[in-house]
């Protein structure tokens, strides 16, 4: 029995019918073809599926699509500007080599941008704490933290990151 849902995804209204057991990550990837949200573990352990739900970072493998009814969802595809310019955190990941294989990167970027929106003056400890639920099997996290700090400076000015170093 399909259930109707209505939500906003990356600023666009979406009306759909979903089965009650459909996970938000499945809905995004399979129904909307937004494949930047990755499926890593299916148990909310790795963070590869992190998206923003009403501005809050959530692991979309742990949320049913019907729970997002009426909500606003932003995926990694929705962070870039309309003209295609990358979000400052995305750009910083690229410049700081905050990724290797790239599988965890969308979830890392989504978790980091949520933190920086909520806490513009987050220090390195807060950044590491926020990213604890996002696993990377390629890097030592140093470049990831540096990328978040550079993105923070671009988003909020250099003064915001003075306490982060």
Mean pLDDT of 90-102: 91
- pLDDT above 70 covers a percentage of the chain that reads 95
The model's pLDDT over 62-83, given as tens digits with 9 standing for 90+, comes to 999 999 999 999 999 999 998 9
pTM: 0.89
pLDDT band with cut points at 50, 70 and 90 for residue 158: low
Mean pLDDT of 48-74: 97
Structure tokens at 29: 């990837």
Q: pLDDT at residue 163 above 80?
A: no
CATH superfamily of 88-164: [2Fe-2S]-binding domain (1.10.150.120)
The ranges assigned to domains in the chain are 3-78, 88-164
Phi-psi region of 54 (alpha: psi -120 to 50; beta: other; left: phi over 0): left
CATH code that applies to domain 3-78: 3.10.20.30
* CB-based contact 87:113 (threshold 8 Å): yes
């Amino acid at each position: 029995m399909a259930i109707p849902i209505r939500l906003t995804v990356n600023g666009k209204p979406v009306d759909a019918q979903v089965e009650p057991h459909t996970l938000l990550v499945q809905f995004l990837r399979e129904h909307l073809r937004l494949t930047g949200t990755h499926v890593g573990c299916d148990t909310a352990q790795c963070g590869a599926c992190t998206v923003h739900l009403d501005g809050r970072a959530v692991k979309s493998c742990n949320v049913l699509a019907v729970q997002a009814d009426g909500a606003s969802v932003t995926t990694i595809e929705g962070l870039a500007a309309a003209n295609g310019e990358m979000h400052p955190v995305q750009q910083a990941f690229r410049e700081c080599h905050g990724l290797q294989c790239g599988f965890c990167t969308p979830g890392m970027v989504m978790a980091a941008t949520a933190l920086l929106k909520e806490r513009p003056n987050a220090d390195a400890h807060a950044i590491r704490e926020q990213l604890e639920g996002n696993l990377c099997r390629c890097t030592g996290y140093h470049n990831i933290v540096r990328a978040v700090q550079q993105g923070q400076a671009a988003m909020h000015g250099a003064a915001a990151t003075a306490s982060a170093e």
